[in-house]
Amino acid sequence: MTKYPLVSVIMPVYNAGKYLESSIESILNQTFRNYEFIIINDGSTDNSLDIISHYKSIDNRIKVINQKNKGLIYSLNQAIKISKGDYLARMDSDDISYSSRFQKQLNLMISKDSDVCGCHYYIIDEFNEKIDFVLTPLKDQNLIFYLISSVPVPHGGAMIRKSFLTDNKILYGMNDINHAEDKAFWCEIYEAGGKFTNVDEVLFEYRTYAQSLSYRNKKRISSDVKKIRKIFIQNNKAQINKTIDLILQRKTVTLNNREKEYFLDIALSKNFIKVKNLLPLVFSNPRYSIISIFKKIK
């Protein structure tokens, strides 16, 4: 009989009562069953703890940390320290994981010997309506575009090899990044030599709404992102230029629309202006009007 590795699911919770039941149930309904479910109640003042306690009473895989409010980064690091799994599966208290998420991510990570695994995902609103669709990178050479302009995997929908974090002493909140903790985390892993993969399926739904933590902190997150981007470009400029050169040598460019958007973001940066040589090929659709854009910025 095959022995499956243990997965530690990490879910921080703060006043998430409105969506918490559906998020917890999406984890309890996973087809992969060998996991512990660590829920950190970070000083919630709503009914979140009552909901968590109910589910703990019916599923002994749930472990609860009930603490005074100490913030997301402290909660995540605390959960990592006490986790017993070979892999960490992140989950946020207002998002939804599809039932096959853990099994498919784990299968891919084992087959590819990767350190981080995500998936494509929908963005949903407070009424569960799908408002956007996000493709994640499937090719290594396109990963760096996401690390500069966005994130390569959905934070709440990621699976991570725990030994990679412990071996490289990586935690959340390094380099004084307190709000864009996910982007900083992925950059730390990348620079430590971590290998990223994504399941070529939608396995996750990320919720956004006016009361969410990311929405309320968007100005601080934006400030952190600018800081992270500057440091990442400085640290990885040689690799970024190497990636650009490899793409310039190809006769065809295989980028999806979101990757083209990120590529344009890099092209418009003064650091990588030579990318403009590729733009007519990447943006073959006349509606982008790339040539006219560069005439204006020269």
How many Å apart are CA 291 and CA 12, to the nearest integer?
A: 47
How many Å apart are CA 145 and CA 158, to the nearest integer?
A: 18
Closest CA to 89 of 128, 33, 148, 21: 33
- Mean pLDDT on 108-122: 96
Using one digit for the tens of pLDDT, what is the confidence trace for 195-215?
Answer: 999 999 999 999 997 655 555
Token pair belonging to 36 = 């512990």
The pLDDT of residue 298: 32
Give the lowest-confidence range in 46-55, 155-164, 288-297. 288-297
The pLDDT of residue 218: 63
How many Å apart are CA 76 and CA 122, to the nearest integer?
A: 24
Token pair belonging to 184 = 């900083």
User: Global pTM?
Assistant: 0.84
How many Å apart are CA 99 and CA 94, to the nearest integer?
A: 16
Domains by residue range for the chain, with CATH: 7-220 (3.90.550.10), 226-297 (no CATH)
The pLDDT of residue 287: 41
Written as one letter, the residue type at 57 is S
Please check whether residue 38 is in contact with residue 83, taking contact to mean a CB–CB distance below 8 angstroms.
Answer: yes
Element (H, E) at 41: strand 35-42
Parallel, antiparallel or unpaired: strands 7-13 and 35-42: parallel
Residue 184, SS3 per DSSP:
helix
